Structure 1
């Protein structure tokens, strides 16, 4: 994600936060790019008593509330375009949930939708949490915070799905990455 993707391509449409581009050459491909950010971060934040911090907010593209990890853009603030990914993760955790964390570990990164977008999300594992504010996001967001015990996540997510909410795949990915990296056993995965 950058103002000019490596595969460049022709700018078909430029919006405030997203642009549509098309590669040139033998295999033209349309894709979305975020011109105003250098990356995306997502945080698997776990309290000392093994509760996972999740967020919920209405997402206009899918017209539903979505259960997610605390997450956001890195390098999207004017004059902070070179913001380190961990700094962005710390900022987003506090802004969205009101938590700060003492310990931060990178879990890895992955494209969010490689056939559609240049977006790559970097996961962080945050522990040693302290609640310092209510969270809820910035003035343009209306974020609800959920604290769910790790052993209850499969059922809790299924119950939210039954209510018509969507569950962001990054929750499952972060839990898997945390378990596979052996930072801590997060709980029984549901596969």
Structure 2
């Protein structure tokens, strides 16, 4: 394996070079989890937050970094996903099902995103994330999802592709309630 050269490194992001290829990585995390929350009555729980790199509010599935906090080092991917779900949406998952692990953007970063579905949800808090986050929680009936997402785009929000990927994967695994 060739040597990695650090070109620049900040608190949340680093720029590195290996074999004349520059790439970005997170110096403080080992990956990303995303979780698609599905309620028993056929709703998806999505979140909305402002994302500085794209200068826009983004509709997303709940997600978070793996291993970025000392107290959670060594935590399993499923436990990390369940913790992020509770933090961001206020829901505790009865069942966390792995969907897929794959590269986030393989031409730019070695980061791997691990997608899960959450079912048998119990609402414990209002959610909204930590004090450094400004998260809005949305409950969207599955039969209205397409129209709702279109309206979010019309209203100027961006849509994270992980919504579509995790939804398709959950559907293929029979995790969505019958419509």
Normalised by the length of structure 1, the TM-score is 0.89
Q: Count residues in correspondence.
A: 179
Give, in angstroms, the shift of residue 147 of structure 1.
0.4
Task: Assess, with a 3 A threshold, how the Cα gap between structure 1 residues 186 and 65 changes in structure 2: closer, same or farther.
Answer: farther
2:144 counterpart residue number? 152
Matches of 1:136 and 1:8, distance apart in 2: 41
1:3 counterpart residue number? none
Q: Looking at both structures, which has the greater relative contact order when contacts are Cα pairs under 8 Å and sequence separation is at least 6?
A: 2
Q: Give 5+ residue unaligned stretches, structure 2.
A: none
Aligned residue among 138, 141, 154 for 1:162: 154
Task: Assess, with a 3 A threshold, how the Cα gap between structure 1 residues 186 and 121 changes in structure 2: closer, same or farther.
Answer: farther
2:96 counterpart residue number? 104
Q: Give 5+ residue unaligned stretches, structure 1.
A: 1-5
2:77 paired with 1:85: yes
Higher helix proportion (structure 1 or 2) = 2
2:4 paired with 1:9: yes
Normalised by the length of structure 2, the TM-score is 0.95
2:175 paired with 1:183: yes
1:138 counterpart residue number? 130
| Corresponding residue SS for 2:53 | coil
The CA RMSD measured in Å over matched residues stands at 1.5
